[in-house]
């Protein structure tokens, strides 16, 4: 008999895990709704033509492709096979699993533009798939929680992203983290300033790995990507900047003095900070990271990445502004900005830091148990009233010894049992027993409702 298994990078979630995940998702949803975002969903699969070319070369390699149904090789010739996967792919696969929620959202906006009210604020909580190498905190199937605004250039949206992240983390009990922020225009300016104008794409791909592989390895990759040794030397001072946000901005203004686009990126960042100040907010947890790049190629303005300190997990949130993502679908000039919470990584962080509150796992509050058929009938008659009052109540389904029923309650960590015996039936009460203290008392239905609600 074949032993059951899961594909690598995927997981099952039991009741405890689902209760904890629901706690995270409810916290995020409540914040999104507070800031005026509306929920949508898109299909798990998209046409490959929708997905490819939006995530950079490395991203395209991580797309899960879906084989055409039926004889998927029927249109493939021996000449195609000799030419390799590039010539074969379009003939065997027309669809793929979504890599993120932003590109499907852009497609959705274009297809529904006549029904939407702009600026349009949406949030979306669904799984995505990436053919990545599985490791701790990195999965092939995982949930994203996206919030995006399209149809406005206002930097108020960037400021509110900072506020939403801080609100969610505060409610999850996270107190030591950094909201790293940069601007792609600054990175374009840096490429110009080091004498590598037009190479901001490969520059971003390389320096995006700085935290993972270190500066020496990033230098090697830059040289492999065609950057001169002199340009990497010019870049090094930016890797070694201090922590003060405004000092870094002043240093960068000097470094990018001859780059118009770089100066514009600095001005946009300063405006975001000014908006936060006008809102009465501070820059707590905000870190201006000159080397933050974000690997996705569609970002054009502000970019974000959030890391929790003191844990073994990587970034738990990220995003940025994209000025023309909808343009590739026939709707140019629609600017957007958004970010995503990585639910699975946030789960691992809260688990590692032991921050899940006990109530996030609370299930059944009361189990009705009985000795015989008449006791079962009495328990059945009480269920509707208990549940109507909002008390999570179960009845043990099988007629079994009372010991077995109590063991069931203990294993499920149900805090109370309501014992239905002959005397309880006669007096129209329940023997309510607290399984953690052993205390037991006879209570009528109104008293039970008062005690457990």
Cα–Cα distance for residue pair 112/331, rounded to 1 Å = 11
Cα–Cα distance for residue pair 201/220, rounded to 1 Å = 16
Q: CB neighbours (10 Å) of residue 105?
A: 24
- The answer to whether 57 is annotated as binding is no
CA angle 6, 311, 303 (to 5 degrees): 90
- The answer to whether 100 is annotated as binding is yes
Cα–Cα distance for residue pair 158/36, rounded to 1 Å = 14
CA distances from 221 to 227, 332, 417 (A): 9, 34, 64
Provide the pairing of β-strand 141-150 with 336-342.
Answer: antiparallel
CA angle 254, 260, 265 (to 5 degrees): 80
- The answer to whether 153 is annotated as binding is no
Task: Kindly state the tokens that stand for 450.
Answer: 């008062």
Burial (CB < 10 A; 0-12, 13-18, 19+), residue 358, is exposed
119 cis-preceded (ω within 30 degrees of 0):
yes
| Residue appearing with tokens 């946000």 | 245
Are residues 409 and 435 in contact, defined by beta-carbon separation less than 8 angstroms?
yes
DSSP track, 190-239:
HHHHTT-TT-HHHHHHHHTTHHHHHHHHHHHHHHHTT--HHHHHHHHHHH
Cα–Cα distance for residue pair 363/326, rounded to 1 Å = 44
Cα–Cα distance for residue pair 258/294, rounded to 1 Å = 24
Per the rule left: phi > 0, alpha: psi between -120 and 50, beta: everything else, 450 is alpha
Task: Kindly state the tokens that stand for 176.
Answer: 């030591």
- The answer to whether 322 is annotated as binding is no
3-state helix, strand, coil in the chain (%, to 5): 45, 20, 35
- The answer to whether 144 is annotated as binding is yes
- The answer to whether 294 is annotated as binding is yes
- The answer to whether 299 is annotated as binding is yes
Binding-site members are 100-102, 130, 144, 148, 294, 298-299
| Residue positions forming the annotated binding site for L-histidine | 100-102, 130, 144, 148, 294, 298-299
């Amino acid at each position: 008999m074949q032993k059951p298994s899961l594909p690598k990078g995927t997981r099952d979630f039991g009741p405890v895990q689902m209760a904890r995940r629901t706690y995270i998702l409810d916290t995020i949803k409540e914040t999104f709704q507070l800031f005026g975002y509306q929920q949508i969903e898109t299909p798990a699969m998209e046409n490959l033509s929708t997905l490819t070319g939006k995530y950079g070369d490395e991203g395209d390699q991580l797309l899960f492709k879906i084989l055409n149904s039926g004889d998927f090789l029927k249109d493939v010739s021996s000449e195609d096979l000799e030419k390799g996967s590039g010539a074969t792919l379009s003939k065997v696969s027309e669809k793929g699993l979504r890599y993120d929620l932003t590109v499907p959202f852009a497609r959705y906006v274009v297809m529904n533009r006549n029904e939407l009210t702009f600026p349009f604020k949406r949030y979306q909580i669904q799984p995505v798939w990436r053919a990545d190498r599985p490791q701790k905190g990195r999965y092939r199937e995982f949930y994203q929680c996206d919030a995006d605004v399209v149809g406005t250039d206002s930097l108020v949206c960037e400021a509110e992203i900072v506020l939403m992240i801080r609100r969610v983390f505060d409610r999850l009990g996270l107190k030591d983290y950094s909201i790293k922020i940069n601007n792609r225009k600054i990175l374009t300016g840096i490429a110009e300033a080091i004498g590598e104008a037009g190479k901001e794409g490969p520059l971003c791909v390389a320096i995006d790995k700085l935290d993972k592989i270190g500066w020496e390895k990033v230098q090697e990759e830059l040289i492999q990507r065609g950057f001169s040794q002199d340009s990497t030397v010019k870049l090094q001072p930016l890797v070694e900047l201090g922590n003060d946000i405004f000092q870094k901005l002043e240093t960068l203004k000097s470094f990018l003095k001859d780059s118009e686009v770089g100066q514009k990126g600095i001005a946009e960042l300063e405006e975001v900070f000014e908006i936060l100040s006008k809102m009465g907010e501070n820059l707590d947890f905000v870190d201006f990271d000159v080397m933050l790049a974000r690997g996705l190629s569609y970002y054009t303005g502000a970019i974000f990445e959030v890391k929790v300190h003191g844990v073994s997990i990587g970034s738990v949130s990220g995003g940025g502004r994209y000025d023309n993502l909808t343009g590739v679908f026939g709707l140019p000039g629609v600017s957007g900005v958004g970010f995503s919470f990585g639910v699975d990584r946030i789960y691992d962080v809260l688990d590692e830091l032991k921050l899940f509150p006990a109530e996030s796992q609370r299930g059944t509050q009361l189990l009705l148990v009985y000795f015989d058929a008449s006791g079962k009938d009495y328990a059945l008659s009480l269920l509707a009233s208990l549940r109507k009052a909002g008390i999570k109540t179960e009845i043990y389904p099988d007629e079994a010894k009372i010991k077995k029923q109590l063991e069931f309650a203990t294993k499920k960590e149900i805090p109370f049992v309501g014992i239905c015996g002959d005397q309880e039936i006669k007096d129209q009460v329940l023997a309510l027993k607290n399984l953690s203290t052993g205390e037991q008392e006879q209570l009528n239905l109104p008293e039970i409702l008062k005690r457990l609600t």
